[in-house]
Amino acid sequence: MDGHSASLEEIEEYHMMVSQMFASENQGYEHYNRYARAKGFSVRLDDKEYVKGTREVKARRFCCSKEGHRLEKYFQATDQKREPRALTRCGCKAMLEIQHDAGRGQWFVKKFVDVHNHPLADPDQSAFLRSHRRMNDAHKADAVEYGLGGLRTFQIMNVAEKQHGGYPHVGYISRDLYNFFARYKKKRILGRDADFVLNHMRVQEERDGEFFFKYTTDDEGHLRNLFWADSQSQIDYEAFRDVVVFDSTYRVNRYNLAFVAFVGLNHHRSTVVFGIGVVSDETHKSYEWLLQTFVEAMGNKEPISVITDGDSAMRKAIRKILPRTDHRLCSWHIEQNMIRHLRNRMLDDFRKLIYCRMGVYQFEKSWAEFKANY
């Protein structure tokens, strides 16, 4: 509470909030979100704090959606393809922070700030604020059913309004419904495309007895990760596995999936492809699966050395799955970072360090001089 004279009701409300205990982090969020709806503001998740050395959350902060300010880079962007969204953040400090008491197995309120620096919404408008809008499974099922029946999105919204007794009581707004259908259609298309790809893999397997492919799916049966390598790729790997390049800079644009090519050089200095992977995200877990599958496809023979673009998730996966493999960074990606961060004179000297042949002693000496000069 701030320094202004608080009413008895405000004081009681404040003490009621700070004395709350919760069985889970989510219960704490739901409680604060209900409070926010009654007051007329929206809530979003903010920082979390972990128990040292683990991924166990020990503290979590929920803040007013108007906390902070839009980053300056979004104001300076010159290549914007769409109209910038309206400014909504104004540095509001209202928040609730909860902390886990391991002894009790409960969460308690560590800090509560109830003062806002902006007008609050009227009670009948709170339902339209973001954290108070939610399409539950029943809403989604109804929308899909009406869509299959031939209704367009705006007509489905009209039906929902009549069913719930008006727009404020629906639980979501038109934009939420349009976004849901966009995701739903994308998932259906992805499902059809995934079936086509897997059928193609099975055909290749029949044609090529050594063709290898492997994939994973999520809990709903949707394709997540895929790897394949034909017999020629496996033969090439047997002969030229001295250096393997993992290139994960490509994208399958429609679904924004990471496309990873495993390539090398033959004795004619021509590029050979050892295998192809597609992963749904660029986490170390996905890359661990991909590397493990690649090694399996190649008869459990690990590459002697690998070159990557320096991605931290890939680096972590390599340390775990290929601990005996030498890992180096791609000079092209180093060059791109040089161009972005170094001035021309520095670039010339840095290129000499990267590309000129020299012994270990000479390199260490030149590197020390470079750091001292710049």
Cα 192 to Cα 175: distance, rounded to the nearest angstrom: 26
The second-level CATH assignment, the architecture, of 210-329 is: 2-Layer Sandwich (3.30)
Cα 275 to Cα 225: distance, rounded to the nearest angstrom: 14
Among 13-27, 96-110, 129-143, 183-197, the minimum mean pLDDT is found in: 183-197
Q: Residues 113-123: what's their mean pLDDT?
A: 90
Q: Are 62 and 79 in contact (CB under 8 A)?
A: no
All CATH 3.30.420 domain ranges in the chain, comma separated: 210-329
pLDDT of residue 166: 84
| For residue 80, pLDDT beyond 70 | no
Per-residue pLDDT of 146-178, as tens digits, reads: 887 778 888 888 888 888 888 778 888 888 998
Does the global pTM surpass 0.85?
no
How confident is the prediction for the chain on average, in pLDDT? Answer: 85
The enclosing H or E element of 71 equals: none
pLDDT of residue 293: 97
Radius of gyration of the chain (CA): 28
Where b means 16+ CB within 10 Å and e means fewer, 135-167 reads beeebeeebeebbeeeeebeebbeebeeeeeee
CB atoms under 10 Å from CB of 284, counted, come to: 19
Length of the chain, in residues: 374
Cα 169 to Cα 194: distance, rounded to the nearest angstrom: 38
